[in-house]
Structure 1
C-alpha cells in the first residue's frame, strides 16, 4: 500500500470517528438539559443508532457491492449528514430534534461498514494492516472529547448551564462536510465484477447474500455472541457519562477519552494477540474485560476508589478492540471477495443494530427497576445497575468459550 493511500485511509478513519465522538458521548447529558427530554424520549433518541444500523446496512452493502463505488456512496452520505447535523444544532425541542437524529443515524451507520470496506479492499494482509489504519479513528474520537472538555469547556457545569453543548453538533456538521468532500479523493472502490452468466437470486437483488454466512456454525456463534455482548455495551453508551457525573467526577468527557487512548494502544497490540493467541482467545479476553469493567464501575466511586473508575474506563481498549475490531477482521475473512460490504453490514446489524437496540431497552428497564433507590442512595443505585451488564457479559463469555470452535483466520484478497 502506497504512503498516499495510507494517508487517505487514515484521515478518512480520523474524520469518521471524530464526527461520532463530537456529539454522541455527551448526548445523554444534552437531551435533558438543553431539550428538556424525559427518560422515554432519551431512550428513543439513543435507539435511533440501532434503527439506523438495522434499516440501512444491507441496502448500502448491496449498492456498494454491485452498483456504485463505495467511496462515492460514503461521500454522499456524509454530505447529507452535514446538513442534518446542522439542523440538529438549530433544534430547540425534542420533537424537532428527533426526526433529524433518526434520519442522520440511518445515513451514518452504513458509513461504518463502508469505511471498513474501502480500507480492506486496499489491503493484502488485513490482520496486520487494518489496525494501523483504524487507530486514526480512535485518535479522532480522542481529539473530539478533549476539545469538548479542555479546549472549549462545553461540558463544564457553566458550559452546560449556558447551553453550550449544542455546539458539539456544529462541530460534527463541519467534520461531516469535510469528510464528504474528502471521500471523493479516496481510492476507487468499485463494485466487484460478477460473472454475467450468474442469475441473481432474490437475496442477491436485495443485498442479503451475506446471510448465507450464518450457515457456518462458527460464524453463527460469533454473530449471536455479537448481539448479546452489545447489550452490556449499550449500558456504557447510555449511562457512563451520566454515571460518572452523578458520582462526582469532573471533566467527564475528557476523562472518558482515556478509554480511547487505551483503544489506540490495544489496536497496536491486536496483531500480536492474533498471532500468539489466535482469534478465539483474543475475543474471549475482550468479553471478560467487559465483565471486569462493570464490576469496577459497580464498586468504585469518585473518592478513595476513583482509581477503580479510571481503570474501568481504561479497559475500553480491550473491551472494544479485542472483540469488535477482531470481529470485523473475522467477518472480512469469512465473506470472501464478493460480499465484503454486505458482510460488514451484517455484523453492523448484529452489533450496533439488534444488540444495542435490545441493550438500550434493557438498560432503560434496569434504570426504572432500581429508580426508587436513586433518590435515597445514588451509589447503591448505580451499583445495582452495573452488576446487570457485568453478569450478562460473563454469561456471553462462557457461551462463546463452549460453542465456538477455534479456527485460523485467513483473508481472501483481491487485486484491484
Structure 2
C-alpha cells in the first residue's frame, strides 16, 4: 500500500510538472504574434535553451549540498509561477513592452527549467526509499507528465486563451499549486559533506574528454545539429496553422479555431512511440534508429508545408503522428546510447553534455535560425497568400536541413556494435 501511495503522489507531481509547461509552450508563439511581437517569437524559445545551459546544474548543486530536492523544487516553482502571474498581469497593461515581457519570461523559465531535473531527482529518491525498481516504476509515472502537458494544451484552447496571455495565468497558477504540493513530498536528503557534485561535473564538462574519440565526437555534434529541430514547431506551428484564419475558406475550420488541440496529437504520438523504442533498438540498432528519427523530422516539416486546415488537414495529422518518432527515437535512444558507451565515472556528466548539445545549444540555434527564416519569408510579406507561401517555403527549408543532416550522419557516423542488448 505504501508503494502504491508513493507512486500516486509522484504521478500527481509529474502531471502538474508538465501541465505548467503545456499551458503555454505550443501556444505562446500565437499570443506573441497577435500582440505584435511576431519577430521576437524565436527569442522566447531560444532563452529556454540558454538558461538550460547552466541553471539546472546550479540548482542541482544547491540540492546536493544545502536544500533538499523536494524543498528546492517547491521554491523554484513558487518563483517561476509567481513570475508567470506577473507576466500575465503586465501583459494586461495598455501598451506592454516587448523588453519587459521578455525579461519577466526569462526570469520565470530560469527557475522552471531546473525543475525538470529536480522532479526526476525527487522521483528517483522516493522510489529508491520505497524499495521500488526505478526501471519498472518510473516510466508509467513519467507518462502522466505528458498527459498533464496535453491536458493543459487542450484546456487553454477550449477556454479560448491560446491566443491571449491568459495561458500564462494558467501556467502560473498550476506552478504555485505544485510549489505547495512539493512541500508534502518525501524527504530527499542532501549529500554528505564533501560528496556533492562540483560545478564542472554538474555542467557535464568532464564529458568533453569524450570528444577525443571520433565516434562520440560525431555523435555529440550530430546531436547538436538535430537538436536544432526540437523547438521549431513548438514556437511556430500554432502561429502558422492559425494564420489560415485570414482566408475565409479556412476561418471556421477546427484547426484554425483549435490549433492547440490539433498539435496535441504530437504529444499523444510521443507517448505511444516510447513503447516502440526497445523493439526498434533490438531490431535495427542505434544508427538506424537515429536515422529514422532524422527522416521523421524531414516528414514532420514537409507535411506542415504541404498541408492546410481544410482538405489538406490529413497532412497536418500525419505531421503530428511522425513527431512521436522524430522526438522519442532521437532523445530517448540518444540518451541510451550515451549511457551504454561511456564510462560509469563520467556517465552523469555525459548525459549532461547530451542535454547541453541538444536542448541547450542545438535548440537555441534552431529557435533563432527559424525566426530569421520565418521573418524573411513570412513576416516581411503583407499579402496573406504571400505569407502562407512563405510559411510553406520555410517548412520545406527546415525539412531540407533535416534531410542534409540525415545524409551526413548516414555517411560519417560508423558504429559496428550497433544492437541493443
* TM-score > 0.5, shorter chain as reference: yes
Q: Of 97, 100, 106, which aligns to 1:102?
A: 106
The C-alpha deviation readout for 1:269-298, integer Å capped at 9, x for no partner, is 333334444444333322221111111112
- Does the CA-based 8 Å contact 2:60-2:202 persist in structure 1? no
Distance in 1 (alpha carbons) for counterparts of 2:90 and 2:157 = 23
Query: Which secondary structure state, in structure 2, belongs to the residue aligned with residue 302 of structure 1?
Result: coil
User: How far 1:10 sits from its partner (Å)?
Assistant: 2.5
Query: Which secondary structure state, in structure 2, belongs to the residue aligned with residue 303 of structure 1?
Result: coil
- Does the CA-based 8 Å contact 1:10-1:136 persist in structure 2? yes
Query: Which secondary structure state, in structure 2, belongs to the residue aligned with residue 101 of structure 1?
Result: helix
User: How far 1:90 sits from its partner (Å)?
Assistant: 0.5
1:39-58 aligned at under 5 Å gives the runs 39=39, 41-58=40-57
Distance in 2 (alpha carbons) for counterparts of 1:217 and 1:72 = 42
User: How far 1:234 sits from its partner (Å)?
Assistant: 3.0
Q: Of 307, 328, 332, which aligns to 1:325?
A: 332
User: How far 1:265 sits from its partner (Å)?
Assistant: 1.2
Decide whether aligned partners of structure 1 residues 78 and 128 sit closer, same or farther in structure 2, where only a CA change above 3 A counts.
same
Query: Do structure 1's residue 140 and structure 2's residue 148 form an aligned pair?
Result: yes
The C-alpha deviation readout for 1:8-64, integer Å capped at 9, x for no partner, is 332222112110010121111112334x3251x333323221221123133234344
Distance in 1 (alpha carbons) for counterparts of 2:397 and 2:231 = 12
Which position in structure 1 is the counterpart of 2:88?
89
Q: Of 220, 224, 228, which aligns to 1:223?
A: 220
For structure 2, the residue ranges without an aligned partner over 5 or more in a row are 245-249
The C-alpha deviation readout for 1:60-87, integer Å capped at 9, x for no partner, is 3434455544333322211211111111
- The normalised TM-score by structure 1 is 0.83
Query: Do structure 1's residue 293 and structure 2's residue 293 form an aligned pair?
Result: no
- Does the CA-based 8 Å contact 1:241-1:252 persist in structure 2? yes
Query: Do structure 1's residue 154 and structure 2's residue 161 form an aligned pair?
Result: yes
Distance in 2 (alpha carbons) for counterparts of 1:3 and 1:338 = 33
Alpha-carbon RMSD across the aligned residues, in angstroms, is 3.2
Decide whether aligned partners of structure 1 residues 342 and 170 sit closer, same or farther in structure 2, where only a CA change above 3 A counts.
farther
For structure 1, the residue ranges without an aligned partner over 5 or more in a row are 411-416
Distance in 1 (alpha carbons) for counterparts of 2:31 and 2:327 = 25
Decide whether aligned partners of structure 1 residues 354 and 280 sit closer, same or farther in structure 2, where only a CA change above 3 A counts.
same
Which position in structure 1 is the counterpart of 2:247?
none
Which position in structure 2 is the counterpart of 1:112?
116
Which position in structure 2 is the counterpart of 1:32?
33
